Amino acid sequence: MIKIDMHVHSQYSEDADGTPEEIINVLKKKGLNGVAITDHNTVEGGFRARQVAPKDFLVIPGVEISTQDGHLIALNVTENIPRDRPVDETVDNILDKGGLPIVPHLFRKMSGIKRPNLEYISKKIPAIEVFNGCSLPKTNIKTAKVARALKLGGTGGSDSHSSAYVGYGYTVIPTTDLSIDSVLTEIQKKTTWGEGTTMPLQYRKDRMMKSIKQFFQRGFKRI
């Protein structure tokens, strides 16, 4: 069994800090086996992380894409996916590029795609994020129930925007093969699940205030 934080933001996200090197070092100290760098609408962080990662630490390149309907994560993509498109079109774009689409923080007010959109694309995706380190425990429980109801697998990630808080959420994968193909195969087989610990309240409050401030700075535009 291996544990990978499947939802991490680095300095390549406009609302985050922390270098890929720092992120990897913290996760290794916490005993995790890998990370998916999922910066907002750019794959640059994943590229950098793969360059600096030691051989015993897996980096899955990824991106968190802003669709018209909320956010989607694409794992194992090496080029940016067009943003601000409908969620179903975005899923198709991810699949066309050989990536694996995952739905993060389903019920989040500003950036979750919500259940109707999930049901619409549920035949095209293998899993949703059932544990998000920035979400309330009751929200993670609610999301996990939806995953089971729709017979989907689960992933977990910290959704950290600071290297100090990576590893609070992670995906448990029933394999000892530390390769991208092995991990993605298990996700596709729906054998993975998300676990972790909710981040400290003060960090979550600070994240919320920063998100609201940046929303106004962008001219009432979501990231």
The CA distance from 30 to 21, in Å, is 14
Residue 149: pLDDT over 80: yes
- Give dist(CA 153, CA 133) in Å, integer: 18
Q: Report the pLDDT value the prediction gives residue 223, as an integer from 0 to 100.
A: 77
Q: Which pLDDT does position 134 carry in this prediction?
A: 93
Write the CA distances from 180 to 59, 76, 149, integer angstroms: 8, 8, 28
Map 85-141 to HEC letters.
CCHHHHHHHHHHCCCEEEECCCCCCCCCCHHHHHHHHCCCCCEEEEEECCCCHHHHH
pTM of the model: 0.92
Residue 58 CA, distance from chain mean position: 15
Mean pLDDT of the region 187-193: 98
Q: Average pLDDT, stretch 144-165?
A: 97
The token duo for 52 is: 């600096």
Q: What's the number of CA atoms in the CB half-sphere (13 Å) around residue 223?
A: 20
Which percentage of the chain shows pLDDT scores above 90?
A: 86
Whether residue 176 is predicted with pLDDT greater than 90 in this model: the reply is yes
User: Which residues touch 174 (CB under 8 Å, ≥6 apart)?
Assistant: 1, 186, 191, 192
Rounded Cα gap, residues 204 and 210, in angstroms: 10
The predicted structure's pLDDT at residue 18: 92
Per-residue pLDDT band for 11 (boundaries 50, 70, 90) equals very high
Architecture of domain 2-217: Alpha-Beta Barrel (3.20)
Mean pLDDT score, 34-48: 96
Query: What is residue 180's predicted lDDT score, i.e. its pLDDT?
Result: 97
Distance CA 157, CA 6 (A): 5
Q: What is the pLDDT of residue 200?
A: 85
For 88-133, the pLDDT digits (tens) are: 999 999 999 999 999 999 999 889 999 999 999 999 999 999 999 9
What is the rounded average pLDDT of the residues 154-172?
Answer: 96
- pLDDT class of 201 with cuts at 50, 70, 90: confident
Determine the pLDDT at residue 110.
83
202-223: per-residue pLDDT in tens?
877 776 766 666 655 666 567 7
How confident is the model at residue 210, as a pLDDT?
66
